[in-house]
Amino acid sequence: MAEATGNSNKGFVFDSALVTDEINGKVHVKPLCRSYAQRVISAGKLDYLDVNGVHCEINVFRGAFRNRLLAIALVADYKAMSLALGQDSSGVTWENVTDRYKTVYTALEQSLTVSGSCDFTKVKTTWTAYVDAVKTLIPDMCKSVMDELKSKDAFLTGDAIPEQQDPLSETGTSPLWVGDRPNIAIGKIMAAVKFSQVNGSMFTGGKINTHGVIYGAVQK
């Protein structure tokens, strides 16, 4: 059985479905905003042949920068979950969100459980409230991602840029990119920022899946 709870809102479309198969256990949430950040980070992956002709893969983003993007997404998810629970989310930042996330997650678990059993009607209501809250938070989250992309430490530079096999150069090798930005990956990254498929879910006494598309997320 499936019930449609999806609708559109300023370029953000979500379709939710209730799956009635019984799954016992504690609350487990796969958040939507984190899914978005992971899509953007994955867009930074490049394949190339190293100087020995070995196929390699690299992410053009610095590790610290990838962590910041995930933290930005967790802030949005934290705020959305807090709104769904009717709790205050003020004071949360990407620096402190990891610890605070554990708190709201525990509150979510307790909210959906009565005498050790899951209140699945409340699960559906809470998840719908969370999805609706995400819709309102997406513009600010995407703006923060764009602002971070403009920072000088977003991408690998200097010696961190790998050498690739380049038979067209005099030496037979060349840097994978030259300069502060990997222009070969910018188009793919921007496409992920502005148009991404996202997936979220909640597992409790049953399972709710949410599949959605964020498009035109960066608005002037």
DSSP result, 159-189: GGSPEEE-TTSSSSEEESS-SSS-HHHHHHH
Q: Is residue 115 part of a domain?
A: yes
Residue-level pLDDT at 116: 64
Q: Is residue 160 part of a domain?
A: yes
Q: Is residue 68 part of a domain?
A: yes
Higher pLDDT, 198 or 178: 178
- Count of domains forming the chain: 1
Pair of tokens at residue 145: 């991602």
Q: Is residue 166 part of a domain?
A: yes
Whether 132 and 212 have beta carbons less than 8 Å apart is answered as no
Give residue-wise pLDDT tens across range 124-145: 888 888 888 988 888 888 889 9
Tell me the residue range of the domain where 85 lies.
31-182
Q: Is residue 82 part of a domain?
A: yes
Q: Please tell me the pTM assigned to this model.
A: 0.84
Q: Is residue 157 part of a domain?
A: yes
Closest CA to 69 of 102, 47, 36, 45: 36
Q: Is residue 20 part of a domain?
A: no
Residue-level pLDDT at 69: 94
Residue-level pLDDT at 3: 32
Q: Is residue 106 part of a domain?
A: yes
